[in-house]
Amino acid sequence: MPLWFAAGLITVFWSLTWLWSHPAWGLSLSLLVAAGAWWGRGFLISSASPLPAIQAQAITPGQIETQLQATQALITTLNQYNTTHNLETQLFSIRQNLQRQHLSLFLWGNVGNHLASLGAELARLGNGNWQIQVSEDLRVMPNSDLILFVISGDLTGSEHQALQTLKDQQQRFLVIWQEPARPHLGELGILEQALTPKLAEFVAPRDWLKIKAHDPGLEPLQSRLSEILATEKQTLIWQHTLQASIRLCQQTQNQINQARKELALPIINRYQWLGAGAAAVNPVPILDLVVTGGLLVQLTLEMGKLYQRNFNLTQARPLAETLLRVMVQFGAVEVTTQTLSHWLKGNSLTYLAGSCLQGASVAYLLRVGGLSLIDYWQTVAAQPESKVNLGSQLQASLQKTMAQLPRSAFFRNFQPQV
């Protein structure tokens, strides 16, 4: 306990020294406490402008190489934290796929569409020009150059959703319609008339082909595949390679995020206890934000080094100040105090002084701030901070953190450790 109070006293002294050397910022904190509700109203009303739609561009070898190098750079970064992975092997395989001469096809559809026999026949007709995989699970998105989506009868809800997913992910695909084996009189015409506007939303007419279920005449499909092989093969291989590299890049970034978070959590724990100690020995409630602000700057600086944000104390301060301002505007301080006050009604015997309320409040704010910084840096990891709306993104990270962090559980766990 003496060490705990000693740490608190040292932190109070540092925070007050920092406040006196930055009177403008200290004044801003006071104003924020007084006008937080009004500023919060304006902040919540404002919103970032939507990003303009990005038009699809032709893929080039240079674009693929740039993406592959970016993925390699991330793998190199990951190796600083963890080397027990096979991501470099996967990257090598992606590079090798650029040299292949055959197309990768994927036959996809619902159970009962005779996909196995259709796949075997297509494999025979391919003559080495394509390799084919078959799946009857619409819940798993295929990974190939060209997807052959097989339907029969009318379009079901799950099939419509699968087509929408293919379209949203900009996958290249054909739709193969199996005619009913024993159609009723006039049924084919009715079904085809109903399907035409539905499929026009997803594919061009030349990419919608009809076959018979039990006596498949595959000449139209074989002819269309031969045409695609002659005119689109290289583009499809490039597109598949680029998408595979992007997925691997995302997978690598996720592992980096997890490794850094595991290192960041002990840092946050240390600062939240320093903040609790400082607030517990501080008799002036208004200085809670000063203590939080001072420690939040140091926390931002230390965590920034972990996330390879090469800035000094002067550069870390604006980010910490913005985060604290957002916390006040969004009501984190008020919510923390209200939650603690309500919880303490049933725990008055275990909490001997109101200073513990201040300590728990500051500890929670520092934890929320630290976790929000983690989310913020993970969100902007793939883009320069100069292109990020700092306040808007920090608000989104703070909202996400406060929703995920169980406040009552934090306070219950905090009390026995005091």
- CB of 46 closer than 8 Å to CB of 332: no
CA distance 393 to 64: 29
> How do the domains of the chain map onto residue ranges?
2-50+257-417, 100-169+173-231
Which pLDDT belongs to residue 10?
Answer: 42
CA distance 213 to 254: 44
- CB-facing half-sphere around the CA of 315: CA atoms within 13 A: 9
**CATH T-level assignment (fold) for domain 100-169+173-231:** Rossmann fold (3.40.50)
pLDDT tens across the length of the chain (418 residues): 444 444 444 444 444 444 445 544 443 443 333 333 333 333 332 333 333 333 345 889 999 999 999 999 999 999 999 999 999 999 999 999 999 999 999 999 988 788 998 999 999 998 889 999 999 999 888 989 999 999 988 899 999 999 999 999 889 999 999 877 766 666 777 888 889 999 999 999 999 998 876 666 788 899 999 999 999 999 999 999 999 999 999 999 999 999 999 999 999 999 988 887 776 665 454 445 666 778 888 999 999 999 988 778 888 888 888 888 888 776 666 545 554 454 444 444 444 444 556 677 778 888 889 999 999 999 887 565 555 677 788 889 988 988 887 666 566 665 545 5
Token pair for 20: 């006196």
Q: For residue 74, give Cα distances in angstroms to 227, 257, 311, 385.
A: 38, 11, 21, 18
CA distance 339 to 144: 52
Residue whose token pair is 């306040």 = 391
Which pLDDT belongs to residue 357?
Answer: 62
Token pair for 95: 């590079």
> What letter would DSSP give residue 258?
H
CA nearest neighbour of 296 among 277, 272, 280, 278: 272
Whether pTM exceeds 0.85: no
- CB of 252 closer than 8 Å to CB of 73: no
Query: Residues near 149 by Cβ (< 8 Å), separated by ≥ 6?
Result: 108, 109, 159, 162, 163, 166, 173, 174, 175, 176
Q: How many DSSP H helices and E strands does the chain contain?
A: 15, 5
- CB of 128 closer than 8 Å to CB of 100: no
Q: Compute the CA torsion angle 231, 237, 240, 241 (nearest 10 deg).
A: -150
